[in-house]
Structures are given as structure tokens and as C-alpha cells.
Amino acid sequence: MICLKTAYLECRIPERNRAAFYSLIAGRDLFGLILIRHWGRIGTRGQPKLRHRYTSESELMKDFQRVLKKRLRHRYRVRRSLNHEANHSNLNPYPGNSISEHRC
């Protein structure tokens, strides 16, 4: 899979015994564009992953932002976030080729 954008969030509320994580990965695989969501308690493997398919990159990024904003409203905080196209565009191993994505 080629990653386009990722985010890892955590929600820690000690008085409620809450220690949760939420992971978002927007990318491209053999079958097209995909958004993978994974969540659970910090220190565990978490729940099974949800996978959603998209026909356009704009729809994918719009849904990525929608889910991210929803998690932030539920007191999650971003711990790691990467826009792979922007951060790795200068690491292209194939000069003259427009490939700028990063493999997950």
C-alpha cells in the first residue's frame, strides 16, 4: 500500500480510566483508494480495522478530515500525523518520475 496521509491520536482521561488510541491511514492499494480506521485501548491490539473504498482522492481526503475532526471533538489529541506526499516529495528514487508517495 502507498500511504498518502496518516494520523495517530490518543485520548487519556485518568479519572474515567480512559486510555484509547485511534489510527487513520489514507492510501492507495491494488484496488484503488482506501481509508483504514483502527482503534482500541492503548497497550492492546485494538478492534478490527474498518476499510472504506473511494473513487476519488478528494472524497478520500474529505472523509479523512471529517473523521479526524470528529475524534478531536471526542477529546482525542494528535500524537503523529504525516502528509506523505508533501513530506516525501524530495525523496523520489526515480528522477523524472512523478511518484511522490511513501510506502506504509
d(CA 26, CA 44): 22
The residue segments making up the domain with residue 23 are 2-81
Residue 61: inside a domain, yes or no?
yes
Question: What integer is the mean pLDDT of 81-102?
Answer: 50
Residue 66: inside a domain, yes or no?
yes
Residue 97 has pLDDT above 70, yes or no: no
In the chain, count of helices (H) and strands (E)? Answer: 2, 6
d(CA 70, CA 74): 7
What does residue 101 show for φ and ψ, rounded to 5 degrees? -80, 165
Residue 48: inside a domain, yes or no?
yes
What mean pLDDT, rounded, does the chain reach? 86
Domain total of the chain? 1
Under the banding of pLDDT at 50, 70 and 90, the label for residue 74 is: very high
Under the banding of pLDDT at 50, 70 and 90, the label for residue 9 is: very high
Residue 101: inside a domain, yes or no?
no
Residue 24: inside a domain, yes or no?
yes
Under the banding of pLDDT at 50, 70 and 90, the label for residue 5 is: very high
Q: Residue 56 is placed in which grid cell? A: 476519488
Contact call for residues 15 and 96 (beta carbons, < 8 A): no
Helix/strand/coil for 30: coil
